A and B are shown apart, each in its own frame.
Chain A
């Protein structure tokens, strides 16, 4: 192998060091063309007869430049684009510019069908070039691409069948130079147009050069250098923009203001200045005089701006926006601004800011639908039109896309990416990526919610499956598996799970000992026996993080052969387990604990109900049943002690759907019921988790994977405290113990549901529990607030959680000193990154599950109208939220619903007349009549108030003329009767009056209705 050596000097700044790197040029970098006889490649990537395009005489390979990948990645990912030569120069530039796109390019390269070949031109003797004097790095790279193209052209010119190479660039200057060199060069647009495929045409990212004639709407962003200087000097503040989930024109960043952590509000289109949710932005504080004291001030701004709109279409939207602005302005996720806003007396206005620059975009692909109203062409037309796209996520502004298939896409869920947001455009400009399917269809909607929550749901790749045991289903415990394991096959182990559970992670046993104590064992599926660190299956599981449970399906973390078979501790089969064995005395105190790998054979897999029946049925006296009784007795003692320590019992309004067997349509809803046996299993799992947490923290003080639950800040409780004070109840949240006690005492005899409701609302004041790496936090912060324990981890569900897999590995390393392990268990940084991913996946999985429930609730209420009892659980400025315990659903009821009709008359400045106004002192909505001192208002709505509502699905939102397709659960107030808000509810919809009102509304206020729909969706999200 011949090796040539050339020298390249690179200087890196920072401390201005001279870095000298070697750069070897090689002769053994092959062209990878199938028919090439000169090169010695073994597995050619580029096919002998590549793609044909009308624009060229010969079949050709494409050599794109960097910007093609950066701007047109979706086009490149299209299956029609094949046989591409990716130059190393290009790949490095892409990596430098955008890591996510680099990853996507890498994925394409790994996909054999795409036939993308990486040509390491920088290390090829024939294509390496030195930077010339006075040549910019960009020019050098462009030249490098041309040189490589030329080399390829010469290299393959004599091949049979004849082929050519085409350089693809959108840089006209580069194309000219290429043509001068005798190369073929083409822009994406020409190339794609010659392909004659509407789909791929739509996927093309729109060109950035807009005509200058257009009026600019937004201020210019400052240059990156300017921004970074400003941030250093403290002039600008940096933060991650979080858009309010109720109003896409209101965002905030959390940052340090003059050394103090705080939130800066950014309100209104021009202040947001093209920032999108999740972007890292630089913000300039507005002068104090412009800090927000009332919400209306902002609305006026917005209206002025709206008034500038010329086109009718835009005007409609403007009105919509303005109205919505009003309707939801008072719904910030934190209550503080509302309070500050409402009372003019308060002299601490919320700091407001204005976006001056965007440090990093966080654009991703968005699911959503095309606004029907924005499609003006006749049906069947395939001329390209600009249409507006609504993202499912309400935080995202509307996106303007150009499509030739507008009509075909109406009524469908589609995916769109943002390309740019020029100053001249009110909305960001994006392009179509693909259609998912009909809106409202269950599978489409499920896919949408998985995509929206970033849940990886693709099938496991062959590579992943190759790490499954070769025996497949027939895998059995072999004698060699007993090495290092204890044989617990003779023990009476049983598992207790929800009905229909196929991935059984845990099983239990108990044996009374001679000294009067009990030996209790928790046996957890030994997943790590099958999933070895670092292999593809392990990486996939680490990236998925958790199994996601939707109403009608489950997105597995591990291939189902493992999850539901080989690891699952099913009854009457021998299975490998990781056991945690305690000796507990009669008072359920731990005498000692040990951990061991084991082999078990479960005697019974019971459901909670079956187990409960066994406990209750005195005639059952077999070993398993008496074991369960002992466990139950111990569990109660454990629970009592835990509660004494201050563990919280919280509640959530969870429901379970009964699905029709074939169609999987929901036919019934019921509250999830908790039995004693649920608590039984839970207690021992908690015990196991705590014991394991101590053990692994001892062994890996710096890198143990633990789970903490921070104490909620007292601000979270403010509103709730105020509300319950009315009932003479005091909530003391200083420790979990006091909180738990005050919850226990908060019982209203006349309202049995009150306590549950209070617990539900307390749950919402809590912080999220998080995984963390023990080296990253001080030991005092290990505490788990909800469980009232000083250390905690997850050990008991390795089939469905990756954290447990890591904990298993760490525990195994802790008990077996001869075990060898890599740095995945000891590296603090890696562990931290992993925790970050797991927390993210967990959060997303929870949200996806919730969205799935919401979806099924919609399906359930389709064509149904129900009257139900509900409770007010949240008061907003001009609306309130009602929870229906029976279905666990929430809906918003507007306090100014009908008055807002005035808005669609085109007079955007008209304010809707609120029927109830918000009183910040009592935190309730009350009627507007003027009150004498001490008098109570005629009608008021306050927290915990019991109301009757009518629930239906707003089906006029679906399809009907408006293009909106977010289904919304409509809730209307029946009782108490408040003029202007309440409807005549009715079991029969034929009530002429009620009907008339609805249909009238529909005719008169299409904008309004749509707008409310958006607002409504927001609230629910």
Chain B
């Protein structure tokens, strides 16, 4: 009956954030030496590892497109990612769906025509889950693609926002997500403010939609700052190493 109070009258969420605050985000690129590009990203306790292979020769001839590269996304959730240990099959429909979301998000952004007849593989591994998996996956993929040096028109920054209690809030954690909250995930190209993905599965009153969208957009911009800094730091680091 009485579910947890998600937003106290004092304006703090259960973890002590205010509604428009992201969780602590840490990210690094180039974490795997085997992959062409890789990134590790934490949204609070949601932790995702992304690896990009390619562009490389397409494995199945039948799929080859002669004028551009094809994107292939695989998503895995580690059995130990949440409190309860649970193994998901590879054909879990939720995972396939989420993978296809990531694929659709990046198809218009990656300049695939530069790599005809080839394939770009994106492998995502959710190591720990605490809400907002999709946004974390998209952000990690962006970093990994940049790390792999694949041409893109812009960053893709994703952020969720939802309506908790009486206000819109961004970057919902697992508790907030699971209390029947209406949640929207959007992925944005920060320079042009174009949106490449919006995803919402629950009912949300139209009156509230605009506010939720606005806040999610702001969240994306904040994400961009963090991601851009990671990339620039990495680049500077590399540059410094080269000059030495």
Contact = CB atoms under 8 A, between A and B. Distances in A.
Interface of A: 1, 3, 5, 15, 17-26, 88, 95, 99, 106, 109-110, 118, 120, 122-123, 820-823, 826, 833
B130 interface: yes
A23 B203 contact: no
A77 B203 CA distance: 40
A118 B9 contact: yes
Contacts of B10: 88, 118, 120
Nearest to A95: B5
Contact of A24 (B8, B16, B84, B206): B16
B228 interface: no
Contact of A106 (B9, B15, B23): B9
15 contacts: A1-B21, A20-B45, A20-B130, A21-B15, A22-B24, A23-B15, A25-B16, A95-B5, A99-B2, A110-B9, A118-B9, A120-B8, A821-B205, A823-B203, A833-B1
A109 B14 CA distance: 19
Contacts of B83: 17-20
Contacts of B105: none
Contacts of A823: 203, 205
Interface of B: 1-2, 5, 8-10, 12, 14-17, 21, 23-24, 44-45, 83-84, 130, 173, 175, 203, 205-207
6 nearest interchain CB pairs? Answer: A24-B16, A123-B16, A17-B83, A22-B15, A822-B205, A820-B206
Contacts of B206: 820
Nearest to A106: B9
A17 to B, nearest CB: 4
Contacts of A18: 83
B192 to A, nearest CB: 28
Given A3-B24, A22-B44, A22-B45, A120 B12 contact: yes
Nearest to B166: A534
A603 B230 CA distance: 75
Contacts of B207: 820
Contacts of B15: 21-24
A19 B14 CA distance: 14
Nearest to B2: A99
Contacts of B175: 21
Contacts of A26: 16
A381 B21 CA distance: 62
Given A120-B12, A123-B16, A826 B203 contact: yes
A24 B19 CA distance: 13
B12 A123 contact: yes
Contact of A23 (B1, B16, B21): B16
Contacts of A821: 205
A23 B15 CA distance: 5
Contacts of B9: 106, 109-110, 118
Contacts of A822: 203, 205
Contacts of B5: 95
Contacts of B173: 22
B196 to A, nearest CB: 27
B117 to A, nearest CB: 46
Nearest to B207: A820
A5 B24 contact: yes
Contacts of B23: 22
Contact of B14 (A21, A820, A826, A833): A21
A647 to B, nearest CB: 37
Given A5-B24, A820-B205, A17 B84 contact: yes
Nearest to A110: B9
Given A95-B5, A820-B206, 4 more contacts: A22-B173, A99-B2, A109-B9, A823-B203
A88 B175 CA distance: 19
Nearest to A8: B15
A823 B182 CA distance: 11
Contacts of B203: 822-823, 826
Name A's interface SS.
Answer: mixed
Nearest to B20: A1
A441 to B, nearest CB: 39
B236 to A, nearest CB: 24
B134 to A, nearest CB: 19
A24 B130 CA distance: 15
A95 B3 CA distance: 12
Interface centre among A20, A25, A833 (most CB of B within 10 A): A20
Nearest to A533: B205
Contacts of A1: 21
Interface centre among A5, A22, A95, A821 (most CB of B within 10 A): A22
Contacts of B205: 820-823
Nearest to A17: B83
A821 B130 CA distance: 31
A14 to B, nearest CB: 10
A88 B10 CA distance: 10
A826 B203 CA distance: 10
A123 B173 CA distance: 17
A822 B203 CA distance: 8
Contacts of A122: 16
A826 B24 CA distance: 36
Contacts of B16: 22-26, 120, 122-123
Given A21-B14, A22-B45, A23-B16, A15 B2 contact: no
A22 B2 CA distance: 22
Contacts of A95: 5
A833 B203 CA distance: 20
A5 B15 CA distance: 10
B125 to A, nearest CB: 19
A821 B14 CA distance: 28
A317 B15 CA distance: 57
A88 B13 CA distance: 13
A128 to B, nearest CB: 9
B89 to A, nearest CB: 22
A491 B12 CA distance: 56
Given A20-B45, A22-B45, A15 B12 contact: no
A404 B173 CA distance: 54
A937 B14 CA distance: 76
Nearest to B15: A22
Nearest to A117: B10
Nearest to B11: A120
Contacts of B21: 1, 3
A108 to B, nearest CB: 12
B208 to A, nearest CB: 9
Interface centre among A1, A21, A122 (most CB of B within 10 A): A21
A355 to B, nearest CB: 25
Contacts of B84: 15, 17
A123 B17 CA distance: 9
A946 to B, nearest CB: 52
Nearest to A12: B83
Contacts of A120: 8, 10, 12, 16
B52 to A, nearest CB: 29
Contacts of A123: 12, 16
A118 B130 CA distance: 28
B142 to A, nearest CB: 23
A24 B13 CA distance: 10
A24 B14 contact: no
A223 B3 CA distance: 26
A58 B199 CA distance: 58
A17 B82 CA distance: 9
Nearest to B202: A823
A863 to B, nearest CB: 51
Given A15-B84, A822-B205, A24 B2 contact: no
A46 B226 CA distance: 39
A639 to B, nearest CB: 43
B6 to A, nearest CB: 13
Contacts of A5: 24
A118 B8 CA distance: 10
A106 B23 CA distance: 28
A22 B128 CA distance: 13
Contacts of A106: 9
B7 to A, nearest CB: 12
